[in-house]
Amino acid sequence: MPLEKNNRPDDVKYDRVRAAALEALVLIQQGEQADEAIRLVTSGQNFRPLDNRFLLQLVNGTTKMLRRLDHEIKFYLSKPSSDLPLLLSNILRLGFYQILFNSRVPAAAAVSEAVNLARHFTEKSHAGMINAVLRSRLREPQKVVFVSRENDPVKYLADFYSYPDYFVKYCVQEFGMEKAEKLLDAYNKPPHVTYRVNFLKAKPDEVTHILQENKIEFSFGRYLPEFIHINGSGLPLEDQLLKSGKVFVQDESAGIPVRLLNPKPGDNVIDLTAAPGGKATYMAIRMRNKGRVTALDKSHKRLEILAENAQIQGIKIIAPVFCDMAEFKGGPFDRVLLDPPCSGWGTAGKRADLRWKKKPQDIINLVKIQNKMLDRAARLVKPGGVLVYSTCTIMRKENDQIIEEFLLRNRNFEIESAAQFFHSELVNERGYIKTYPDFPQLDGSFCARMKRKLEN
């Protein structure tokens, strides 16, 4: 939906990057996925890398902080209860976001650029209102009031950190107030990028030397040393490292299930929801390109991306299979990895619109799917083989509860503690791995390793 200018003769200049951000915000609130909205508004724009980074920050930051921004804006409106037109409300949100959360943008610039957008895309009177509201926020920040933290902690945290009530309530009940607040704050920080070194094409020393030569700051993964965390935005040295296959973009938490599965060279392994291939390619690399990795997925388009990723990384043992898991007849396998559809609440820091799109009922529906998929996955494991269940969510119903109920239904499986593979700080008393976004450089995730008992 390209924005339409008002076509007045005195039309003013405006910032194209902010205009694209405004268009993306409107698309997102009309139901588009954030990543797709950004792709649509940047197509054909020829923005510089610096412009693209600013655009991402504006769109993702404003989307994340939507509830906080709307809460603050209402204190400066003459009629706080009235709904503003979509375009107007998003111009205000962009302006407030820059004033509140982007210290690199001078407040005066945030105001003037918002006014320019309003002049260009809305009525003249709206530009005056935008100017008055933003300047009032700068003069009188004390107008903004939050509910008492003590009297209503859920509403306070939800308004201040910008989340739906149900998720905040879960975090407070699950972790307590102090840890819940740290976790909510962590999700609002700019997302980090992690490179996984591809042992088939490069050694970690080679990659780190290239990064150092180009003055790219980085740190090594705490739990998986072949994962390198980039300190900064963007994808540095994309041509030299990514397109050459020497590294692959993957969060360290997404590599943990593969290490827990611990596939060996020569194994017969299956990844049951494989595309676009982060875990499948990591398995193949851990297996030194020896054995077989069956990569199952019901999306042909995403399997094509997987095959392309495997080719770039020099992987030859992945066999893509276009099939719904419920209809798959192969096996048995030495190792089985199941990473089912989940609510994604471990990746809310990277998926800006997730917090507004996911509903409590979605989790209830997903749990039913996850249970069915895990039972099907179990049938593919040979006696003595290993099954790893992993998610990128922190919701107990999708994690611990799924495994405990599975073990009650499937007495021929037993937990193998992750403590034999990872430091105890990652492993709980049941032997499961749980990571959270307040862990250094990790998304939230869960995984459990189960072994099928040998038949008598």
Q: Which CATH class, in words, describes the domain spanning 252-452?
A: alpha beta
Taking the C-alpha atoms of residue 52 and residue 62, their distance in angstroms, rounded to an integer, is: 15
Residues of the chain with CATH 3.40.50.150: 252-452
The CATH number, out of the four listed (3.40.470.10, 2.30.290.10, 3.30.70.1170, 3.40.50.300), of the domain defined by the range 193-249: 3.30.70.1170
Give the Cβ contact number of residue 88 at 10 Å.
19
Residues of the chain with CATH 1.10.940.10: 16-143
Taking the C-alpha atoms of residue 92 and residue 79, their distance in angstroms, rounded to an integer, is: 15
Find, among 385, 423, 430, the residue nearest to 404 by Cα: 430
Residues of the chain with CATH 3.30.70.1170: 193-249
CB of 38 closer than 8 Å to CB of 17: no
Average pLDDT for residues 42-61, to the nearest whole number?
93
At residue 9, the pLDDT reads 45
DSSP state of 427: B
Under 8 Å CB-to-CB from 236, ≥6 apart: which residues?
Answer: 211, 214, 216, 230
Find, among 168, 121, 143, 178, the residue nearest to 71 by Cα: 143
pLDDT, tens digit (0-9, with 9 covering 90-100), for 185-206: 999 998 889 999 999 999 999 9
Name the amino acid, one letter, at 229: H
At residue 2, the pLDDT reads 55
Taking the C-alpha atoms of residue 231 and residue 193, their distance in angstroms, rounded to an integer, is: 8
At residue 3, the pLDDT reads 64
Q: Three-class SS of residue 319?
A: strand
Report residue 12's pLDDT band, with 50, 70 and 90 as the boundaries. low
Under 8 Å CB-to-CB from 374, ≥6 apart: which residues?
Answer: 338, 340, 389, 402, 406
Q: Is the pLDDT of residue 385 over 60?
A: yes
Q: Is the pLDDT of residue 7 over 60?
A: no
Report residue 1's pLDDT band, with 50, 70 and 90 as the boundaries. very low
pLDDT, tens digit (0-9, with 9 covering 90-100), for 283-292: 999 999 999 9
363 or 331: which leads in pLDDT:
363
Backbone angles phi, psi at 243, to 5 degrees: -70, -20
Taking the C-alpha atoms of residue 325 and residue 448, their distance in angstroms, rounded to an integer, is: 20
Radius of gyration of the chain (CA): 24
Taking the C-alpha atoms of residue 227 and residue 100, their distance in angstroms, rounded to an integer, is: 33
At residue 192, the pLDDT reads 86
Q: What is the mean pLDDT of the chain?
A: 94
Cis peptide preceding 332, ω within 30 of 0: yes
pLDDT, tens digit (0-9, with 9 covering 90-100), for 312-354: 999 999 999 999 999 998 889 999 999 999 999 999 999 999 9
At residue 4, the pLDDT reads 60
Average pLDDT for residues 430-446, to the nearest whole number?
92
Helices (H), 65-123: 66-73, 86-101, 107-121
At residue 351, the pLDDT reads 94
| From 171, 323, 342, 392, active-site residue | 392
Give the Cβ contact number of residue 65 at 10 Å.
21
CB of 437 closer than 8 Å to CB of 444: yes
Q: Which CATH class, in words, describes the domain spanning 16-143?
A: mainly alpha
Taking the C-alpha atoms of residue 125 and residue 119, their distance in angstroms, rounded to an integer, is: 9
pLDDT, tens digit (0-9, with 9 covering 90-100), for 296-313: 999 999 999 999 999 999
At residue 5, the pLDDT reads 54
pLDDT exceeding 70 applies to what percent of the chain? 97
| Known active-site residue 171 | no
Taking the C-alpha atoms of residue 20 and residue 259, their distance in angstroms, rounded to an integer, is: 41
Taking the C-alpha atoms of residue 80 and residue 65, their distance in angstroms, rounded to an integer, is: 18
Q: Is the pLDDT of residue 121 over 60?
A: yes
Dmax (CA) for the chain in angstroms is 86
CB of 286 closer than 8 Å to CB of 236: no
Average pLDDT for residues 250-257, to the nearest whole number?
96
* 151 token code pair: 């009297």
At residue 370, the pLDDT reads 98
Q: Is the pLDDT of residue 389 over 60?
A: yes
DSSP state of 143: G
pLDDT, tens digit (0-9, with 9 covering 90-100), for 62-120: 999 999 999 999 999 988 766 889 999 999 999 999 999 999 999 999 999 999 999 99
Q: Whole-prediction pTM value?
A: 0.92
Report residue 11's pLDDT band, with 50, 70 and 90 as the boundaries. low
Backbone angles phi, psi at 203, to 5 degrees: -105, 155
How would DSSP label each residue in 194-236? EEEE-TTT--HHHHHHHHHHTT--EEE-SS-TTEEEESSSS-T
Angle at 254 between CA 248 and CA 257, to 5 degrees: 125
Report residue 439's pLDDT band, with 50, 70 and 90 as the boundaries. confident
CB of 441 closer than 8 Å to CB of 252: yes
CB of 428 closer than 8 Å to CB of 399: no
